[in-house]
Structure 1
Amino acid sequence: MSDDKMITLYHGSTSVCSAKVRVGLAEKGLDWKGELLDLMAGEQFDPGYLALNPEGVVPTLVHGDLVVRESSLILEYIDDLSGQNRLMPADPAAVVATRHWLLKCLDIHAAINTLTYATIQRANILAAKTPEQIAAMVARIPKPRAAAKRRDILDNGLASFHLEADFYTLHKTFTDMSASLNRTKWLAGEQHSMADIALIAYVDRLDRLGFNGLWSSRFPEMTDWLIASRQRASYLTAIDAFSTADAARKMRADGSAYWPELNRIWQAMLDGQTAGAA
């Protein structure tokens, strides 16, 4: 691949969507160069980057003159760059299932974002910024709905009304993942595929926060899948390598402090679903 056609990925070190694409690039064995953005400093809102991605989110992939946004679309794009190490399954039914997972990632990402920002990110932001700086930070978010969500979560934490809807999304996700993994080794069949790549960063984030109790007892198949995914070279280079051991320990310790209250809310949601089905 010539330099003018080198893949450039604008990404964040711990961004789940960035990690998802890095895993895909690693599985494909593609060469790429990275432009790492400091998301906490707001570099995703700099005018130069907004010219590439007007929504001010990562990742963004640039390949020659083509700009590709949205992590699931990027996965499909890089898969078509070569016939080697295909990420999309060959079986038509598995293709449909995989693309269904890619669509679900929009809601799954929103749920992971809520849990991250309602807990450790909220604490970090409130500790580091004045109310005026927080207001300015929220004002830089281009999408009004995303800005309103961020404002509500920063104001209310785990009491945010977004949590209930996103807990529903997570429970449905875990239920569907468990059903798939009871049938086959991986989410779309017996071979690791784009479906697994699309989900690994999200589940990994919850586990790193110390929130694996959301699935460990009800959906143990997910724990086995997470262990198997973490044993792949792509996980080590695309996710694990972007966090130090100290940072990982701190994230788990900080997140675990929220687990008792988070679990109380989660169990109340599950009890409500059970009562509603009775």
Structure 2
Amino acid sequence: MATGSGEREAATKENKLILYSYWRSSCSYRVRIGLNLKGLKYEYKAINLLKGEQRDPEFLKLNPIGYIPVLVDGDIVLADSFAILLYLEEKYPHHPFLPHDIHKRAINYQAANIVSSSIQPLHNLEVLKYIEDKVSPDEKLAWAKYHIEKGFTALEKLLKDHAGRYATGDEVFLADIFLAPQFSAATRFHVDMADFPLLARLSKAYSEVPAFQEAMPEKQPDTPSSALVTP
């Protein structure tokens, strides 16, 4: 896996966006949606989490904590999906991720933070592996379901007075970018979306937006063929 200073120099020369991603990573999924909404072309660099490529010394030069996604924009290297999306918002203001209304903007931040702080980190690969090793393999699913459902319950209450076609009205904003990947993860952990009617409706709406469709895990170049087989 060739990463590090050489690719940063190449990206600077060509002014090309490079995204280090993994097909099933919901954090990477968020950034793919954001890039698509902004109409930004990028080069996809696959980091196989199951093979431990995120711990490769060359990748750790890009992100010392060893997480994805990482975005390289010329000589700028950014990790963490929230930081990347806010960077894209400031540098590329077309198709804004945030509404002008200050209250709706705060609701977007709150919804995005529920996903990024109180749901997704509690069922990421490292956490589930730790539970499997230290507690029990059978506890992984129950743990993930509990935290997803707790977060979804909060999101249903938060968004009920703000949602339109999308989470905070009739335009796609930051909250939607964070919600859509979390719905995909919820399916993996057998969360019954019938218990969350507002979120289920939003999930359907996202499936009809081209920028979301192209960012879906099954559309990525590193998606294994086994994941594309319909049972």
Same fold per superposition (TM over 0.5) = yes
Relative distance call for 1:10 and 1:41 in structure 2 (3 A) is same
Judging changes above 3 Å, is the alpha-carbon distance between structure 1 residues 84 and 188 closer, same or farther for their aligned structure 2 residues? same
Tell me how far apart the structure 1 counterparts of residues 185 and 60 of structure 2 sit (CA, whole Å): 26
Structural RMSD (CA): 2.6
Structure 2 CA distance for partners of 1:210 and 1:51, relative to 1, 3 Å:
closer
- The residue number in structure 2 matching 1:150 is 129
In the TM superposition, residue 30 of structure 1 has moved relative to its aligned partner by 0.9
Which letter maps to 1:232? V
Match of 1:109 among 106, 109, 120: 120
Between structure 1 and structure 2, the one with the greater Rg is: 1
Q: Quote the Cα distance in structure 2 between the aligned partners of 1:249 and 1:109.
A: 26
Counterpart of 1:222 (choices 199, 204, 212) is 199
* Counterpart residue number, 1:33: 43
- In terms of mean alpha carbon deviation, does 167-176 or 96-105 score higher? 167-176
Q: Secondary structure at the match of 1:238?
A: coil
Structure 1 gaps, min length 5: 118-145, 254-278
Q: 1:2 to 1:60 in 2, by over 3 A?
A: closer
User: For 1:72-151, what aligned pairs fall within 5 Å after superposition?
Assistant: 72-104=82-114, 105-113=116-124, 150-151=129-130
The aligned counterpart of 2:174 is: 194
- Structure 2 residue aligned with 1:175: 153
- Write the distance in 2 (CA, Å) between the matches of 1:180 and 1:189: 13
Q: Evaluate the alpha carbon distance shift between residue 231 and residue 180 of structure 1 in structure 2; reply closer, same or farther with a 3 A threshold.
A: farther
2:18 match: secondary structure: strand
Indicate whether 1:241 and 2:219 are aligned: yes
Deviation at 1:154, TM superposition (A): 3.6
Distance 1:103-1:222 versus aligned 2 partners, 3 A rule: closer
The yes-or-no answer on 1:57 pairing with 2:67 is yes
Equivalent position SS for 2:45? strand
For normalisation by structure 2, the TM-score amounts to 0.81
The CA deviation at 1:175 is 1.9
1:163 Cα deviation (Å)? Answer: 5.1
Q: Residue deviations 1:153-195, cap 9 Å, x none?
A: 24512336x955x555423321232234432222223321111
Query: Partner amino acid for 1:175?
Result: T
Structure 1 residues 248 and 182, CA, compared in 2 at 3 Å: closer, same or farther? Answer: farther
Q: TM-score, normalised by structure 1?
A: 0.68
Distance 1:225 1:88, change over 3 A: same
Q: Distance in 1 between matches of 2:209 and 2:219?
A: 13
Q: Where is the helix percentage greater, Structure 1 or Structure 2?
A: 1
**2:228, 2:202 → 1: CA distance?**
20
Q: Which amino acid aligns with 2:98?
A: M
**Structure 1 letter corresponding to 2:156:** S
What is the DSSP-based 3-state SS (H/G/I as helix, E as strand, rest coil) of the residue aligned with 2:71? strand
Tell me if the contact between 2:33 and 2:211 (Cα under 8 Å) persists in the aligned partners: yes
Deviation, structure 1 residue 43: 1.1
1:20 equivalent to 2:30? Answer yes
Distance 1:219 1:35 in 2: 35
Count of aligned pairs: 214
> Aligned AA for 1:101?
A
Contact 2:12 2:73 in 1 (8 A): no
Q: Which residue of the partner structure matches residue 15 of structure 2?
A: 5
Distance 2:183 2:21 in 1: 19
CA gap 1:177/1:91 in 2 versus in 1, 3 angstroms: same
Deviations 1:57-78 (CA, angstroms, capped at 9, x unpaired): 1101111221111111111111
The aligned amino acid for 2:150 is: K
Deviations 1:119-173 (A, max 9, x none): xxxxxxxxxxxxxxxxxxxxxxxxxxx57x633324512336x955x55542332
Q: Could you report, residue by residue, the CA deviation over 1:53-104 in whole angstroms, capped at 9, with x for unpaired residues?
A: 1111110111122111111111111111222111112211111111222322
Question: 2-side partners of 1:102 and 1:235: how far apart?
Answer: 16
Unaligned residue ranges in structure 2 (runs of 5+): 1-10
The answer to whether the 8 A contact 1:112-1:202 is kept is no
Q: Identity rate of aligned residues, in percent?
A: 24
